[in-house]
A = this chain, B = another copy of it.
């Protein structure tokens, strides 16, 4: 399944049982698209990883190390996915965080997932999940390794025709999908749910907010009751691997795949086509 991994700089496909990533989910991760040996949005991923390390007080790993190892993995790779995991490293049986601990870094190259290109153009079907994300400001925004909530939400359906589940929080505000962020367009304004209490602040979400500003498109980060989403003119989901997928259906309700969504998708693809430092 995985093609190749480095664990703390050495080629390996295993990690110590004592690693706090396994013991407690005590770490962070990034999932990075690879195209023609390029790591897309590398700077943005590293920036978010460092924010996560700072929030969890995990020793950050020097970017040069991560880049050097990721670059070795993506050599000659046309398309793939690099996943970086940073954990607090090894340390005891107990929640107290060891002092001066060395973080662990795991960098793995995965094959490019088999998504239909059609999804980007014609849109995808989605559903509203029953599961509600917890209100958890202490962990909101960062891409940490505690992902049971996403697993429970994702376990609600098996139909391959459904690309994503839309998840609300305990206060019935829409937060995001199980693996993507959500945007919607209402009266020519681009809106996206507020993530200060739940959810992951996606790298592509952040980039779209930036790009919208250059497109003279007003953006609002806002609390989003389900009604607000369901009455939108356009809706799309995004993440680092799929880019932008219009949403053409939520449960039984159809949505137009609109012009603003296409413009944002094209703008994102254009940004990502600029060669990065890798």
CB-based nearest B residue for A20: B151
> How many A residues face the partner with a CB closer than 8 A?
58
In the assembled complex, A18 has its CB within 8 A of some CB on chain B: yes
Q: Which residues of B lie under 8 Å from residue A38 when comparing CB positions?
A: none
Q: Are B136 and A23 in touch, CB under 8 angstroms? A: no
CB-based nearest B residue for A7: B17
In the assembled complex, A77 has its CB within 8 A of some CB on chain B: no
Stretch from A139-147, A224-232, A252-260 contacting the other chain = A139-147
Question: Which positions 8-58 of chain A face chain B at CB distance < 8 Å?
Answer: 12-19, 21-26, 29, 31, 56-57
- Give residues in A with beta carbon < 8 Å to B: 1-2, 5, 7, 12-19, 21-26, 29, 31, 56-57, 81, 83, 85, 90, 92-97, 106, 108, 110, 113, 131-132, 134-136, 138-139, 144-155, 170, 178-179
Q: Which residues of B lie under 8 Å from residue A19 when comparing CB positions?
A: 22
Q: Are B148 and A56 in touch, CB under 8 angstroms? A: yes
Q: Are A93 and B106 in touch, CB under 8 angstroms? A: no
Q: Are A1 and B14 in touch, CB under 8 angstroms? A: no
